[in-house]
Amino acid sequence: MTIAFKISIAAALIATSLGGAFAQGLAPLNSDTEADRLDWSELDSTLGALPTLPEGLRAGGVSKTLTNEYWRSLGEGYQKFADANGVNLAYQAAQSEGDQLGQLTIAEGMVTQGYNVLLLSPQTDANLQPVLEQAAAAGIPVVNVNDAVIPGAEHYVGNVQRDNGVRVANWFIENYPEGGKVAVIEGQPGVFAAVQRTDGFTATIEASGKFEVVASVPGNWDRQLSYDAATNILNQHPDLIGFYANNDGMALGIVEAVKAANLKDQVAVFGTDGISDAYASIRAGDLTGTVDSFPVLTGEVAMEVALRLVGGQDLPRVVATPQALITADNVDRYSGEGVDVRAVLLEDATK
């Protein structure tokens, strides 16, 4: 299949998605700016207790891939909340983060098998759009869960993607008052989360007037590709002071490139997601930081939203989940033996 043909398919799917959104009376979804939203910490106080659920309820979760710890952790959150409420969960994923057709096949199969609710984390903004239409025809509620956004999705659970990049940019602005050269390693081109994270970082740091973004290139969520890209950037800009990567796997590849160039003391590296390897790298003094979006908690919240929909409750279009910038200064607050992350985040939500 040629690149041009793939692009034409994506364009057609997006057009279909937009048309579907308007047909439902919904504007195309931007999960970062959607006004019809509720913070995760307000679910109980706003909606009350979880409604009574039908016996034998089956929930289907479809993820990007299980090779990335973030998506395994999201599934752990799904399972935790499903088990606590007597719900049967099937959690499946494509073989890789680029297997769009494989992911679509899995999701369509869950519609055919009659699952009561679906939780979808699409690989792109377009590839699972057909499932929305099939599920709607079958009367199956769908929750779009981090991080690509289906424009026609009626319900979305996840964090503010743009804010990931904004938080990292603000760290650089605060810690490098003289400014300097920085670079971005992006996720998959065109995916909502990658676009928003990159733009949040770039627009914020450039607005300070003291920083220059000398490169912004795709790493496609891949550690080795990101290592190679970072190596090339460091060769071209040996005076670089920092990188921002759209996920932690890529950031850890960048860390290795920085160490190989003997620039560890000069170049700060930030990722996104908050996987355990990122926390370990921060504690080791290698990775400067990550923006943790707390995938286990996100999975719990998404399953709760899904079950409330099955129970007939009206929910806002977006339920926002938490995020926090993690560095060596606060790593022990959010991770470690005896840390109750939910309690910490509820405390953060009241500040």
pTM comes to 0.90
Residue 326 in any domain: the answer is no
With bands split at pLDDT 50, 70 and 90, how would you rate the model's confidence at 20? very low
Residue 18 pLDDT greater than 80, yes or no? no
The answer on 117 and 101 residing in a single domain is: yes
Q: What is the pLDDT of residues 196-206, one digit of tens each?
A: 999 999 999 99
**Encoding tokens for residue 162?**
């743009």
Q: Do 260 and 175 fall within a single domain?
A: yes
| Same domain assignment for residues 313 and 274 | no
User: The CATH number of the domain where 212 resides is what?
Assistant: 3.40.50.2300
Q: Do 211 and 178 have their domain in common?
A: yes
Q: How far is 91 from 99, CA to CA, in rounded Å? A: 16
Reading the block at residue 300, the tokens are 């719990």
Residue 168 lies in a domain: yes
Considering the domain architecture, whether residues 94 and 173 belong to the same structural domain is answered as: no
User: 148 and 64, same structural domain?
Assistant: yes
Q: Do residues 116 and 176 share a domain?
A: no
φ/ψ of 243, rounded to 5, equals: -125, 145
Note whether residue 212 is domain-resident. yes
Asked if residue 7 and residue 124 are part of one domain, the reply reads yes
Predicted confidence (pLDDT) per residue in 79-137, tens digit: 999 999 999 999 999 999 889 999 999 999 999 999 999 999 999 999 999 999 999 99
Is 13 inside a domain boundary? yes
Asked whether residue 68 falls in the same domain as residue 118, the answer is yes
Whether residue 50 is found in the same domain as residue 90: yes
Whether residue 334 lies inside any domain: the answer is no
Cis amide linkage into residue 147, ω under 30° from 0: yes
Q: Are residues 19 and 100 both part of a single domain?
A: yes
Residue 15 lies in a domain: yes
* Cα torsion angle, 193, 217, 251, 222, sign: positive
Domain count, the chain: 2
76: in domain:
yes
8 A C-beta contact, residue 225 and residue 252:
no
- Rounded CA-CA distance 26/18 in Å is 9
Taking CA atoms, 321 is separated from 115, 198, 236, in Å, by: 25, 19, 38
**23-74 pLDDT, tens per residue?**
457 899 999 999 999 999 999 999 999 999 999 999 999 999 999 999 999 9
Domain interval for residue 231: 161-292
Q: What is the pLDDT of residues 139-175, one digit of tens each?
A: 999 999 998 999 999 999 999 999 999 999 999 999 9
What's the order of all strands across the beta sheet hosting 268-273?
211-218, 180-186, 242-245, 268-273, 289-292, 324-327
Query: Are 195 and 216 part of one and the same domain?
Result: yes
Whether residue 213 is predicted with pLDDT greater than 80 in this model: the reply is: yes
Round the average pLDDT of the chain to a whole number and report it.
93
Strand partners, 319: 38, 157
